[in-house]
Amino acid sequence: MTRDEIARELVAGCREGREKANIDRLYAEDAVSVEAADMGQGREVTGREAIHGKHDWFDSLYETVSAEVSDPMPHGDDRFAVIFDMKMKKRETGEIEDMRDIGVYHVRDGRIAREEFFYPTA
């Protein structure tokens, strides 16, 4: 897949609730996922299985109330960014939290090789 095909499918999958299926479809086996801050499990994980685990961990803490995903914004030949605006409900307390992330995705050999998330940490 090209960078633009991957970008469009990643966004479509996020909008349609297919994020986890897209990990296997779009990500390299050795893909790296990097968070802006350590939330108790380190900032970086490597491999599709670890990225699945990160999604499972987040889903155990939060329920999606609403989410908007921007169109992909390409950069150079091998990167694109996406903005995620979400309202999330903490499963433990029921509290609603607004979240905004920017994901930057690096493509290598027709797969996502690295993703980096930017968000406020204070």
| Confidence category of residue 121, pLDDT binned at 50, 70, 90 | confident
Mean pLDDT confidence for 32-61: 93
Q: Label each residue of the chain as H, E or C.
A: CCHHHHHHHHHHHHHHCCHHHHHHHHEEEEEEEECCCCCCCCCEEECHHHHHHHHHHHHHHEEEEEEEECCCEEECCCEEEEEEEEEEEECCCCCEEEEEEEEEEEEECCEEEEEEEECCCC
pTM for this prediction: 0.94
Q: Which domains does the chain have, with CATH numbers?
A: 3-118 (3.10.450.50)
pLDDT digits (tens, 9 = 90+) for 61-111: 999 999 999 999 999 999 999 999 999 999 999 999 999 999 999 999 999
